[in-house]
Amino acid sequence: MQRREFLKTAGSIAAFAIIPRHVLGRGFIAPSDQLTKGIIGTGGMGRGHVNYGGTRLVAVCDVDKNHLELGKQLVTGKIAAYHDFRELIADKNVDIVHIATPPHWHGIMSVEAAKAGKDIWCEKPMTRTIGEGKRVMEAVRQYGRMYRLNTWFRFTDNFYGLGTLVKPLKKLVQSGLLGWPLTVTISRHTGFDWKFYWVGKEYLEPQAIPAELDYNFWLGPAPYKPYNAHRVHQTFRGYWDYDGGGLGDMGQHYIDPVQYILGKDYTSPVKVEVNAPQQHPDAIGTWHSITYTYDDGCRIVLWGGDYGNPDTPYIAGPKGNVYKNFVCDIPDWEKKLADYPEPEPQVTDFIESVKTRKPFALDEQKGFRSATIVNMGVAALQLNRTLHFDPVKLEFTGDEAANRLLNQPMREPWTI
Amino acid sequence: MKRIYLILFVLFLSLGTLFAQSPGNRTAETVIADVLAQIPAQDKEQYVQQQKDLLSTGESGILQLAKMLNTSPESAVKAQYALNGLTTYTTEIRQEDARLIVVNAYLKALDELSDADSKAFIIRLLRMIAKDEAVSKLTSLLNDKDLRSPAEEALASIKGTVSQDAPEPLNDPDLQSLFSALKKAKPKKKVEILNKITFLFDNPANRNLADASCTATVAGLSASDNRELKTAAATVLMQLGGTESIAALAKLLNSKDEQDIQLGKTLLLSTKGDIASCIVPYMQSATDKGKIAILQLLSARKSDTQNKVVFEQLNSASPEVKAAAYDILKDVVTVKDLPVLYRLLENNTPALPVQQAIIAALKPLPKEERFETISTQINRTDKRKQSLYYSVLAASDNINALNYIVEKFDTGTGKDKDAAFQALLEWKGLESADRLSAIGKKGDAQYSEKALSRYIQLVSSPSLKGENRRLFLTNALEIAETDAQKKEILKQLGRTGSYLGLLSAGNYLDVPAVRQEAAGAVMDIALNNKAFTGKTVKTLLEKTAKVLDNPDAGYQREAIRKHLDEMPDEEGFVSIFNGKDLTGWKGLVENPVKRSKMKPADLAKAQIKADEQMRKDWKVENGLLVFDGAGYDNICSEKLYGDFEMYVDWRLEPSPDADAGIYLRGTPQVQIWNTARTNVGAQVGSGGLYNNQSNPSNPLKVADNKLGEWNTFYIKMVGDRVTVIFNGELVVDNVILENYWDRSQPVFPVEQIELQAHGSKVYYKNIYMKELKRTRPFELSAQEKKEGYKILFDGTNMHEWTGNLVDYQLEDGCISVHPTSSFGGNLYTKKEYDNFAFRFEFQLTPSANNGVGIRAPMEGDNAYNAMEIQILDCEHPVYKDIAPYQHHGSVYGVIAAEHGAMKPVGEWNEEEIYANGDNIRVTLNGKVILEGNIREAAKNGTVDHQEHPGLFNKSGHIGFLGHGNELKFRNIRVKELK
């Protein structure tokens, strides 16, 4: 049996079989003891993420010839270069498909990769709508794939203004010492920046499409709008058709760990409220606050710019608060906390995940749930109103327009 | 403030057909223009109001709006906002007739619009709002190659067919069946099933489905010899938690196999329940590795009830186990263990872990009790061993402990003194800073260097503001003896961003041993603060460029050169105290009002006497300006200042009544006092504008350093407004300083700076002034003077005005409107006027809207309860459809003004409003644009068909009526008509 076929069957038939790499025996993992990957989207993001350990880059894809050229230079030696991502996904030499395109492509590409039996590494935000996220989750599970959404604060790195790993925060919250329900505030005051420079321009003069760019393919499922350089590449985050501004860019980084800390990985908030200036239908603007409420009364509050109270805690509970830099106001909390268990270990190496078929710490299920929070906010901003959400049916309650944003149609020939 | 749109408007959606004619008989054009001028809405309330207004224009109004999509880019963007808002709002209110009006308008727009982009825009709106009624029209567009795609998308949304090929969601297998399968399965399959269970258990809700028999099954498997199986089973046990799971996991610690011990330890750390009592029994039988794992687990859970075994292991024969036991001692001790810990400490065991354990055991006690407990123990202890406790004292965080340590240092000798010194270094807070600096200064080489290093470390903490760090660091710089310390201080100074820090570092550019660090500091501060300009900065930067010597020096010199080239040519800050004598300073004669009335000869005579008195009380000592007298004789700058920025460092000699202050333009004062003086309210802190009555007088926060330490002010005064930054904290934010000497007048435009004498000793240094280009006050022409005009605003103060003094700011000699809310609030004259000629200049921004209220009360909507002379950029395209009586210069809603006299946006316009009884005349840039009689005009009802109950007010305030837009006013004057 060839190595790649082995990995595929291991994945598709017995999704949760544990095959540690040493039992594979000699001859299976060759020639480089590495899995292979292909990157779709070799703009700044894709090129920046080449060197994750344990994989060897064998294919790149981009609809911009210049980017593709830069992508080919990422390795010395042979590399397959594609214009059409479907060819990269079909490439038998590729084990892992790494999706580093703008978010309006993430859903389609993830589903196609899953169908083709590839494991998937996808940049955040997971998808640009809740409907596409749900579809990705279903496809990944249906085809027994391993999926990693690429943000990492739930298991490593100092978590922005908290100046600590998320683990001790999780331990403190799950101990119940702070009481329940909790309110988590993500704002400049608690050490987070919503990057309001990702705003679009309301008027874009049509420009000539540069020769190197296949603009129609770049747009793909997004509505056709005349080309202007500001829509693509470095500045696409400012337009609803492709992303969600600062909320889209940073939302999963900031909110995914909160889902984990609050133990909400298997549900979603039931309400989202916005306080924001009216939004333009194409160009994303700024906002003052976005507030999410779960059915048990826990809340996540986002404050944009300098909005809100500078003295607010990061986590506020009826029995105690946690402030920026992990300052807790419960007397002797460290001692009290010792009676409680550490957060459970997670699979934090995607290569291990791929080889053992144990789901990654931030898999399609958890990624979908945190992306859903971002996309609930995006919908509420676009509609400028409070929305109610059903975390089981995964749709908005009693709001048809909101549900039309939930499942955005795609431009032909694209479907998901 | 024009009010084109209605304040109160009840939307009767059922009367949809009436919408063609909007309420109050205003035209759809008017309503739309007003909404567009306000777009985008800044908050929900405004948004809802705008959408209601737009809806009120009915199908024809909405169609009109849609047709703006293919006009100029600016109008098109506004129309996009409006249409999108209208669409989302209509989907929110869920009223079918409103929805149909909007959809019908959009369907018509598809016929009437000519360009594909606008049509596509409308189709995308239809995607959000339309139902079956749009299907045939959208279907017909499928043949249009430009519109096919948006039409398809809209149809998909309308038909709800967007996610047609979504598969059936997968169901998770039943947990109970997995557990029963587990019993029968072969080992390899068992592993697979257990991993599946782990995956399902990741959702805590699923864990409740497992019962005791499940736990027993898995616990049995965790004893398997198959490593994979053991690992998978143990992981499930960790997820289940509880006594039985813990007992099974604890057994792993008793294994001879290191992998088992590691697995058991890792999983027990994350297991819920009491693990200590399950693992302690294995302490005897476990291998050394197992013992260490048990100790570490006890440490993680801080198991003080099980600490007996830890104390036993302190005597372990294995050095590794013994070290581990000492290592974790601090995590498992309580106050009850103190006697044992004392014995350990005094009996030649490793001191550090035991000291840490004592510190931990004391931690639950209040700070005073910690101190008392340890000081009592010290007194009971053999003198030679007392010093073992000093470190523990330092950690008690009690000020008595600090004093105790300091006393031991001062009076002790040998080992005892050294231990006290070590403890002083370990003290965590800034409280030890003055003590460390004193030791540093004394120059006892054994201690001074370390003391100063610790001092530098403490005062470099980023929790202190940069300017405050600068104060402490420059103090350290004066004391430091070694080059290493000077280098460190200079490096830290470079991070303060302080102008005075830049000057201090600049003094070391000539000291070869530390000049690189000095140069780095000068460069870092100067290049990051474009506001630091002037000759001194230039000279220092040029010197810096010369001395820089490092691999990057070439780039750095280039950056400095670029910075210097861009630096504006201005004087910058100038020192007004030379540190040697009182040159530039004089005594205080009376107050500015009285002085201005004195004859020159009398003033000169009084000045001589005042100078004599001043010299008795004010001295220059060690480069400091010192007041040490009993009187109230302020020292005054010889030079007079208008608009300025100022730095001054000050220090109060500790005394209960300590008090001082800085007078700005001869006017009291930026307050300085001992914050302990709560009887006079000093707890609010220094830095406030103490003598203000109607404007804020307290500082925004307390920012004082400990009494007796140095403090620093940055003060900026422009016109009559003052900003104070105190030790790096903003404490006064652009507040009007009132004229204490004559409250009917604004503060003096130009006067001296005074340092207040208030009977207590005070020190000053680093007094720097930067004069700002002053607005030349507006003056009346000879003609206007003769006619009896009075100035209401000359560009230097807003003394004649009241109302919203926050949105209406004094800026570059203008009143500049920076609205913080959608309607920028109103600014009124303090005085009331009946008949008058009111002259002013104004400068618009695109589509700006404001107005002059006349004979107005300071409340309500002055367009109706008084009279409003419109101010509007009415040439702007969004206003193309407004009514004539809404144009600039109109008596709003009553008499229309003529067009064509306004200068282009951005230029200044000159206007006169002449109001004499019922006769109103408005002259813009020399052209009379309105002349009429309001009684005549309103005879048969006003043209806007509105009630204007205040039209015939006899008198009232003159006001600027905000409408949420930026614009500027200047040179305002008024003549009352007799």
**Distance between CA atoms of residues A203 and B77, nearest Å:** 6
Going by the DSSP 8-state scheme, the letter that residue B891 receives in this structure is B
Distance CA B236, CA B245 (A): 9
A157 backbone φψ class: left, alpha, beta (φ>0; ψ -120 to 50)? left
pLDDT at B219 over 60: yes
The whole-number pLDDT of residue A99 equals 97
The verdict on a CB contact (< 8 Å) between B271 and A341 is yes
The answer to whether residue B443 scores a pLDDT higher than 80 is no
- DSSP code, position A306: T
Question: Using 50, 70 and 90 to split pLDDT, how confident is the model at B883?
Answer: confident
Q: Tell me which residue in A339, A404, A416 faces B128 most closely, judged by beta carbons.
A: A404
Chain B interface includes A139 (CB < 8 A)? yes
* Contacts with B269 from chain A: Cβ below 8 Å: 341-342
Is the pLDDT score of B5 beyond 60?
no
Q: Say which of B40, B149, B273 has its CB closest to residue A411.
A: B149
Task: Using CB atoms within 10 Å of the CB of residue B679, give its burial: 0 to 12 exposed, 13 to 18 middle, 19+ buried.
Answer: exposed
| Residue in chain B nearest A347 by alpha carbon | B199
Of A215-219, A320-324, B291-295, B547-551, the poorest mean pLDDT is in B547-551
CA distance A411 to chain B (A): 6
A310 touches chain B (CB under 8 A): no
Nearest CA in chain B to A282: B80
pLDDT of residue B462: 83
Q: CA B831, CA B436: separation in Å to the nearest integer?
A: 60
pLDDT at residue B521 greater than cutoff 50 = yes
**CB burial of residue A96 (10 Å; 0-12, 13-18, 19+):** buried
Instruction: Say whether residue A17 is in contact with chain B using an 8 A CB cutoff.
Output: yes
Q: How far apart are CA B820 and CA B813, in angstroms?
A: 21
A280/B192 Cβ within 8 A: no
Q: Which residues contact A362 (CB under 8 A, 6 or more apart)?
A: A148, A149, A151, A152, A154, A155, A256
Chain B interface mutation, best of A369, A384, A411, highest count of B Cβ atoms under 10 Å: A384
Q: Is residue B658 scored above 70 in pLDDT?
A: yes
Say yes or no for a CB contact (<8 Å) between A281 and B121: yes
Integer Rg of chain A from CA: 22
Nearest CA in chain A to B130: A401
A207 touches chain B (CB under 8 A): no
Given the structure tokens 């068909």, which residue do they identify?
B945
| pLDDT, tens digit (0-9, with 9 covering 90-100), for B311-332 | 999 999 999 999 999 999 999 9
Give backbone dihedrals phi and psi of B496, rounded to 5 degrees, phi first: -85, -20
pLDDT at B76 over 80: yes
What is the pLDDT at residue A10?
A: 36
Task: Answer yes or no: do B272 and A341 touch at CB < 8 A.
Answer: yes
Q: Give A78→chain B minimum CA distance, Å.
A: 38
A chain contacts of residue B182, beta-carbon cutoff 8 Å: none
The dihedrals phi and psi of B135, each to the nearest 5 degrees, come to -60, -45
> How confident is the model over A84-109, as pLDDT tens digits?
999 999 999 999 999 999 999 999 99
| pLDDT (average), residues B832-846 | 95
The rounded distance, in Å, linking the Cα atoms of B371 and A380 is 57
Task: Give the residue with greater pLDDT, A117 vs B13.
Answer: A117
DSSP, res B174: P
Beta strands at A119-123 and A147-150: parallel, antiparallel or unpaired: parallel
pLDDT class for A47, splitting at 50, 70, 90? Answer: confident
Shortest alpha-carbon distance between residue B85 and chain A (Å):
7
User: Which of A202, A228, A278, A280 should be substituted to probe chain B, the one whose Cβ sees the most B Cβ atoms within 10 Å?
Assistant: A278
pLDDT of residue B170: 55
At A53, the pLDDT band (50, 70, 90 cuts) reads confident
Contacts of A266 in chain B (CB under 8 A): 203, 205
pLDDT score, position B8 = 32
Minimal CA separation from A211 to chain B, in Å: 22
More confident residue, A30 or B893: B893
Interval B794-820: pLDDT, tens: 998 888 999 888 888 888 889 998 887
Count the Cβ atoms, other than its own, within 10 Å of residue A144. 19
pLDDT in tens, B531-573: 899 999 999 999 999 999 988 888 889 889 999 999 998 889 9
Q: Do B40 and A278 touch (CB under 8 A)?
A: yes
CA atoms within 13 A on the CB side of B387: 18
Task: Name the residue among B157, B170, B363 with its Cβ closest to that of A409.
Answer: B157
Helices B175-184, B212-221: inter-axial angle, 10-degree rounding: 40
Q: Which of A131, A223, A266 sits opposite B124 (nearest CB)?
A: A223
- B43 and A415 within 8 Å at the Cβ level: the answer is no
Q: What is the reported pLDDT for B172?
A: 63
B88:A205 CB<8 A: no
SS3 string of B346-400? HCCCCHHHHHHHHHHHHCCCCHHHHHHHHHHHHHHCCHHHHHHHHHHHHCCCCHH
Q: How many CA atoms lie within 13 A of B795 on its CB side?
A: 17
* Residue owning tokens 């060690």: B622
* A316–chain B nearest CA distance, Å: 23
Burial B48-65 (b: 16+ CB within 10 A, else e): bbbbbbbbbbbbebbbbb
Model pLDDT for residues B748-769, shown as the tens digit of each residue: 999 999 999 888 999 999 999 9
Tell me: pLDDT of B821 over 80: no
**Residue range A259-280: mean pLDDT, rounded:** 97
**Contact flag A202-B47 (C-beta cutoff 8 Å):** no
Query: What chain B residue is nearest to A281 in terms of C-alpha separation?
Result: B84
Prediction ipTM score: 0.90
Asked if A281's CB is within 8 angstroms of B84's CB, the reply is yes
Among A35-49, A294-308, B22-36, the range scoring the smallest mean pLDDT is B22-36
Across the interface, of A342, A344, A409, the residue whose CB is closest to B162 is A409
- A18, A226, A263: residue with CB nearest B195: A18
Contacts of B43 in chain A (CB under 8 A): 275, 277
In the block, tokens 């330490």 appear at: B709
Contact A275 B44 (CB under 8 A): yes
- The Cα of B172 is separated from the nearest Cα of chain A by a number of Å equal to 10
The model's confidence at residue B3, banded by pLDDT at 50, 70 and 90, is: very low
Task: Yes or no: say if B918 and B935 are a contact pair by the CB < 8 Å rule.
Answer: yes
Q: At residue A257, does pLDDT exceed 60?
A: yes
A131-135, A206-210, B35-39, B111-115: which has the minimum mean pLDDT? Answer: B35-39
Taking contacts as CB-CB distances below 8 angstroms, the residues of chain B near A107 are none
- Comparing alpha-carbon positions, the chain A residue that sits nearest to B83 is A281
Give the pLDDT score at B169.
54
Distance from CA of A338 to the nearest CA of B (A): 4
pLDDT at B741 over 90: yes
- Asked whether the predicted pLDDT for residue B342 surpasses 80, the reply is yes
Which residue in the set A338, A384, A407 is minimally distant from B162, CB to CB? A407
pLDDT of residue A1: 32
**Residues B520 and B551: beta-carbon distance below 8 Å:** no
Mean pLDDT confidence for B846-864: 91
Of A17, A383, A404, the CB nearest to B192: A17
Identify the pLDDT of residue A29.
40
Judge contact between B748 and B613, C-beta under 8 A: no
Mean pLDDT over all residues of chain A? 90
Are the Cβ atoms of B269 and A278 closer than 8 angstroms?
no
Distance between CA A213 and CA A64 in Å, rounded?
A: 4
- Which residue in chain A is spatially nearest to B124 when comparing CA positions? A223
- Closest CA–CA distance from residue A400 to any residue of chain B (Å): 8
> What average pLDDT does range B126-138 have in this prediction?
95
Chain B residue with Cα closest to A363: B199
Measured between CA atoms, the residue of chain A closest to residue B85 is: A278
* pLDDT tens, residue by residue, B157-213: 998 877 555 555 556 678 888 888 998 899 989 999 999 999 999 988 888 888 888
What pLDDT score does B21 carry?
31
Q: DSSP 3-state assignment of A235?
A: helix
Predicted local distance difference test score (pLDDT) of residue B166: 55
Residues in B touching A339 (Cβ below 8 Å): 301-302
- Which residues on B lie below 8 Å from A344 (Cβ)? 238-239, 270
Angle subtended at Cα A295 by Cα A294 and Cα A300, rounded to the nearest 5 degrees:
15
Sequence length of chain B is 978
Contacts of B166 (CB under 8 A, 6+ apart): A134, A135, A138
Asked whether residue A64 carries a pLDDT value surpassing 80, the answer given is: yes
Q: Look over chain B and give the mean of its residue pLDDT values, rounded to a whole number.
A: 91
- Please, are residues B270 and B240 in contact by the beta-carbon 8 Å criterion? no
Phi-psi region at A25: left, alpha or beta (left = phi > 0; alpha = psi -120 to 50) = left
Distances (CA, A) of B730 to A307, B720, B874: 19, 18, 41
Which residues neighbour B384 within 8 Å (Cβ) at sequence distance 6 or greater? none
% residues pLDDT > 70 (chain B): 96
One-character DSSP codes across B487-529: HHHHHHHTTS--HHHHHHHHTTTT-GGGHHHHHHHHHHHHHH-
Residues of A in contact with B42 (CB under 8 A): 277-278
pLDDT band at B23 (very low <50, low <70, confident <90, very high): very low
Q: Are B76 and A411 an interchain contact pair (Cβ–Cβ within 8 Å)?
A: no
Please name the residue of chain B whose CA is at the shortest distance from the CA of residue A167.
B270
CA B842, B848, B851, B857 dihedral sign is negative
User: Between A and B, how many CB-CB pairs are < 8 A?
Assistant: 159
Range with the poorest average pLDDT among A10-24, B345-359, B374-388, B895-909 = A10-24
Contacts of B161 (CB under 8 A, 6+ apart): none
Q: pLDDT class for B17, splitting at 50, 70, 90?
A: very low
Average pLDDT over residues A168-197: 95
- Neighboring chain A residues of B198 at a CB cutoff of 8 Å: 358
Cα separation, B448 vs B581, in Å, equals 33
Question: Residue B12's pLDDT is what?
Answer: 35
Residue A256 has pLDDT above 70, yes or no: yes
- List the single residue in B with minimal CA-CA distance to A334: B302
Question: Chain B within 8 Å of A34 (Cβ-Cβ)?
Answer: no
For residue B880, the model assigns a pLDDT of 79
The H or E element containing residue A36 is strand A35-40
A409/B331 CB distance under 8 A = no
pLDDT range class, residue B6, cuts 50, 70, 90? very low
Single-letter residue type at B389:
Y
pLDDT digits (tens, 9 = 90+) for B293-304: 999 999 999 999
The token pair at B40 is: 């985008």
Q: What integer is the mean pLDDT of B864-892?
A: 90
Task: Give the CA distances from residue A78 to residues A48, A56, A57, A198, B631, in Å, rounded to whole numbers and listed in that order.
Answer: 19, 11, 10, 37, 89
